[in-house]
Amino acid sequence: MKYTRLTKEQLEELHVEFANFLASQQIDKEEWEDLKKNKPEVAEEELNVFSDLVWEGALTAARYMEHFSKNHIFLFRFDETSIDTVVLKTENTSVDFLKKEGLEWLSENMFSPEVEIRKGAKTFGEDRNGELFEIIRQGAFFSNGELYHQIADLMK
């Protein structure tokens, strides 16, 4: 398995897609129930393959991610070959970017000496989606890129 198994909740959300996936494997509902009962290792492998397909599709389509921690915000924009990053950081220990008040503080102090903003870029290696998945494993999530563009525009 290249990525991680989808959670039970994610699989439930994708039940129609999973049914279509099984149908493409010539597995109907009755056979699926039989596999789960009598060949659980085969059923587990089908879930793993489906999970990898979903992750691969989501990662291929993704263009932006965000990662928030107490004193850092990482904003990512990527295409097929490269990734651009904007990092916002504060040394002010009373600020918490995970809370509404911390984000309000940031908007008021964006250009103060207490906020450090850095830009970076790199080219992906051979496994773009694997690199993106590693960013997710570290706590990032997909986004629409709005915050990335707001900050990038302010930096111009």
Tell me how far CA of residue 148 lies from CA of 69, 93, 144, in angstroms. Answer: 16, 24, 9
Domain positions in the chain: 8-61, 64-155
Q: What is the pLDDT of residue 153?
A: 85
Tokens of 48: 């793993």
Q: What is the pLDDT of residue 40?
A: 94
- pLDDT, tens digit, for every residue of 117-151? 999 999 999 999 999 999 999 999 999 999 999 99
- pLDDT, tens digit, for every residue of 11-63? 999 999 999 999 998 999 999 999 999 999 999 999 999 999 999 999 999 99
- What's this model's pTM, rounded to 2 decimal places? 0.86
**Cβ atoms 131, 69 nearer than 8 A:** no
C-alpha to C-alpha distance for 149 and 75, rounded to whole angstroms? 9
